[in-house]
Amino acid sequence: MNQFAADRAPSTPAVLLDLAVRVAREAAATARRMRAGAIGDVGTKSTATDVVTAADKAVERQVVEALLAARPGDGVLGEEYGTSETAQPGAVRWILDPIDGTVNYLYGLPQYAVSLAAELEGVVVAGVVVNAATGDEWTATRGGGAWRGDRRLRGSAPAGLGQALIGTGFGYDARRRAHQGRVVAELLPQVRDIRRLGAAALDLCAVAEGALDGYYEKGLNPWDWAAGGLVATEAGITVAGLRGAAPGLDMLVAAPPVIFEPLHDALAELDAAGGP
């Protein structure tokens, strides 16, 4: 542990974002480069459909090494290896999904991403999502707006829930999916249409730039939504749970203020946060 380096490392959102972008771009390049070999080396996690490839693990190791080389006092929470190291008090906790959309990665659908966020004292202050298949990039700093390149993002302004295109996702547990399927079947007649794109981080960035009007999912982990949640929030999107709860494992709803309430109420009515 290099205390000197940790003490000296500045932790402004802009500095953290700069590092995050550099590291995430290199990680995305690794994911893309490794794909042909990695999809032949696939394991499973919570269920037979919850896959992990050699690239998920290699990319996570690469990111952890790069972050801790630059900022030795920080901690990293990653999807594949959990917490890499106990962070110093007041240090940054990085939250990483090395490949969000692993099933898309496996099948070659160009919708998988590196998601990396920096959290200070429990608050995400910087985040980047890089679509590893296309190179598209979304960034945000707390209070500094959400950006795709030099375009500031502001979400969409749908006329109402009935005209809204809503994204969602499903967990890997069959019983949870059965509940999620019932909820989405009841929501479908109330909205313009439903999309299931397969990578939560990219779904949130899509809401930020107005390519979706809203998104909800039960069962997301911090690495799925830490960076994309900041991008959406900074684009003026309301990101919350149901009935005043914070967004998290039970439910995350992201929508422009104009349709947040009707979407929230429809999901609450359907007990979208309930079930297994």
Beta-carbon neighbour count of residue 192 at 10 Å? 15
Residue 198 found at the interface with ligand IPD (CB under 6 A): yes
CA 191 to CA 183: how far, in whole Å? 13
Q: For ligand IPD, which is the closer residue by CB, 106 or 266?
A: 106
Residue 200 found at the interface with ligand IPD (CB under 6 A): yes
Binding pattern for the stretch 40-59 against ligand IPD, x by CB under 6 A and - elsewhere: --------------------
Count of residues that bind ligand IPD according to CB under 6 A: 15
Beta-carbon neighbour count of residue 144 at 10 Å? 15
Q: For ligand IPD, which is the closer residue by CB, 119 or 224?
A: 224
Residue 169 found at the interface with ligand IPD (CB under 6 A): yes
Smallest separation, CB 79 to ligand IPD (Å): 6
Smallest separation, CB 86 to ligand IPD (Å): 24
Residue 204 found at the interface with ligand IPD (CB under 6 A): no
Stretch that binds ligand IPD, among 5-13, 69-77, 167-175, 253-261 (CB under 6 A): 167-175
CA 205 to CA 60: how far, in whole Å? 21
Residue 170 found at the interface with ligand IPD (CB under 6 A): yes
Residue numbers at the binding site for ligand IPD (CB under 6 A)? 79, 97, 100-102, 169-171, 198-200, 217, 219-220, 224
